[in-house]
Amino acid sequence: MSLDTSLSPATLPGAGRTALVTGITGQDGLYLAELLLAKGYEVHGVVRGQNNPRRELVEELVPDVQLHTGDLTDMSSLLRALSASNPDEVYNLGAISFVAYSWENAALTSDVTGKGVLTMLEALRLHAGSDLDKVRFYQASSSEMFGKVQEVPQRETTLLWPRSPYGVSKVFGHYMTINYRESYGMHASSGILFNHESPRRGEEFVTRKVTKAVAKIHLGLQDELVLGNLDAQRDWGYAGDYVEAMWRMLQQDEADDYVIATGVSHSIRDLVTIAFDHVGISGWEQFVRQDPRFLRPAEVDTLVGDASKAKRVLGWEPQVDFDSLVRMMVDADLEALKAGWK
Ligand code: NAP
Ligand code: G4F
């Protein structure tokens, strides 16, 4: 699945094509921007806020990306970004994406993560006019939509039963994407992505919280890791693999929806065990405390995806397994701490 570097710039798959990415400052936005640039695309990104501290990170990691100020709740800003970039492909990754936060800010989450998708779709429809069939759209749907799972493993046809304001908002965006495909013939695809992580994962998410704490404990900089539900299970993959799936969806003749997952589920306990093992600590219980503060009003207990459609149609398969992912994240945190970065 790696790019053929023998291709000259003019024969790269993205040569002469332009992509616009919302959520460019996030984990996936950065990996996707790198992927699209390597494929020869002209890449534009939407950045929110008057002085977004993550703008600098984008400028440093992917300096060739052209940035536009915009917000998913502000249609005119999206229209301006579309008009300035005139994209062939739009990747809508922007969202309030932290599930726990969505209970505290349900209305805001609905406005951004839910209605923001409609605002983007409508802006695209207004911008493209009679050329709408020439633009391709990707929506970042989520396994959180399966919530109280009605089938194991979860696939594209599994009944959705979201358990958080975030999940409900994602369901709205998911069905709006399907509706624009069916109503206007838009090439609009939805990737139902299961959890994917990396050294760039935000520190509020459990994988990164664990890997950074383990690195700090190993270096004597921290003595405790406080977590919530240790029994929840997730199907965790590597973000670098998952952005490749997004791109592949938009290269198909027909738009469609795809589950992207590894098919393997692990508990938070497994995550903690692998991370501590990696730095040579076997009795991790002495460092870990559970606090109800990190429990959720309604939990998604077990997620595990069936990505056989993605394998069959897109030729996509995950390349990084869970153990390697956790070790990669611990190593990156160790390296950054030793370099005095944080
Ligand atoms: P992330 O790191 O939290 O990034 C979210 C991005 O959305 C950030 O760039 C953020 O920008 C932007 N954003 C927030 N509010 C916005 C607004 N009002 N207008 C425009 N942009 C806004 O998330 P991620 O892990 O990269 O995930 C990318 C997308 O995939 C999200 O939609 C997420 O819900 C979805 N998803 C993620 C996973 C996963 O496991 N990572 C799984 C399934 C689906 P700021 O810099 O301004 O905050
Ligand atoms: O890492 P998490 O916060 O991710 P969660 O809720 O699964 O959401 C992520 O994946 C979704 C895909 O399914 C995305 F759509 C979403 O945007 C986001 O990227 O929590 C994972 C599990 C939960 O069951 C949580 O209860 O870890 C459990 N957990 C236990 N202790 C904790 C903690 N989660 C966090 N964040 N912090 C803890 O201390």
Where do the structural domains in the chain lie, given as residue ranges? 9-198+238-263+305-320, 206-231+266-298+328-341
Instruction: Name the β-bridge partners of 139.
Output: 92, 190
**46 C-alpha vs ligand 2 centroid, how far in Å?**
25
**Ligand index nearest the alpha carbon of residue 209:** 2
Q: Is the CATH code 3.40.640.10 the one for domain 206-231+266-298+328-341? A: no
State the angle between helix axes of 206-218 and 268-278 in degrees (0 to 180), rounded to the nearest 10.
Answer: 30
Structural Rg of the chain based on CA atoms: 20
Atom of ligand 1 nearest to the CA of 193: 43
pLDDT in tens, the chain (342 residues): 444 555 678 899 999 999 999 999 999 999 999 999 999 999 999 999 999 999 999 999 999 999 999 999 999 999 999 999 999 999 999 999 999 999 999 999 999 999 999 999 999 999 999 999 999 999 999 999 999 999 999 999 999 999 999 999 999 999 999 999 999 999 999 999 999 999 999 999 999 999 999 999 999 999 999 999 999 999 999 999 999 999 999 999 999 999 999 999 999 999 999 999 999 999 999 999 999 999 999 999 899 999 999 999 999 999 999 999 999 999 999 999 999 976
Atom of ligand 2 nearest to the CA of 208: 1
Four-way CATH pick for 9-198+238-263+305-320: 3.40.50.720, 3.30.43.10, 1.20.1740.10, 2.40.30.10 = 3.40.50.720
Nearest CA to ligand 2 atom 27: 206
Q: What is the DSSP letter of 280?
A: T
Instruction: Name the β-bridge partners of 141.
Output: 192
Residues annotated as part of the active site:
142, 144, 166
Cβ(237) – ligand 1 distance below 6 Å: no
CA 271, 277, 281: angle at the middle one, nearest 5?
A: 120
Nearest CA to ligand 2 atom 21: 206
Nearest CA to ligand 2 atom 32: 206
| Cα–Cα distance for residue pair 255/342, rounded to 1 Å | 42
**Could you tell me the two tokens for 336?**
């950054």
**295 C-alpha vs ligand 1 centroid, how far in Å?**
22
| Cα–Cα distance for residue pair 315/131, rounded to 1 Å | 29
Residues written for the chain: 342
Cβ(29) – ligand 1 distance below 6 Å: yes
Alpha helix segments (H runs only) across the chain: 27-38, 55-61, 75-85, 99-104, 106-109, 116-128, 165-184, 206-218, 239-250, 268-278, 308-309, 322-338
| Cα–Cα distance for residue pair 310/75, rounded to 1 Å | 32
| Cα–Cα distance for residue pair 18/69, rounded to 1 Å | 18
Contact between 260 and 236 under an 8 Å Cβ cutoff? The reply is: no
Best of 21, 28, 57, 110 to mutate for ligand 1, by most ligand atoms within 8 A of CB? 28
